[in-house]
Amino acid sequence: MKKSGYRDGPETSASTGFPLTVIFLSMLGILGYMLLGGEFTNIPHREARVFVPLQGDTTAKRPEAVIH
């Protein structure tokens, strides 16, 4: 039986298969959650609304410059 200790050299044959598999499966899981999760919810999506003042509207206040 070989003793392991501080005299052993650094690892020379590291395997990256397991970490890359975990990352890839996590990415697939997140992508599936984003794509399929929105399809199964019955909550209506909100839309952005932009209110633009009319050309003749002079009641809108202009922002004042703030000087400190």
What residue numbers bound the domain in which 30 lies? 17-41
pTM: 0.45
Beta carbons of 60 and 53 less than 8 angstroms apart:
yes
Q: What is the count of structural domains for the chain?
A: 1
* Alpha-carbon gap, residue 28 to 35, rounded angstroms: 10
Per the domain annotation, does 5 fall within a domain?
no
Q: Note the pLDDT tens digit of each residue in 7-37.
A: 777 777 878 899 999 999 999 999 998 888 7
Contacts for 53 with CB less than 8 Å, ≥ 6 apart: 60
**Average pLDDT over all residues of the chain:** 76
The 3-class SS string of 33-46 reads HHHHHCCCCCCCCC
- 3, burial (CB in 10 Å: exposed 0-12, middle 13-18, buried 19+): exposed
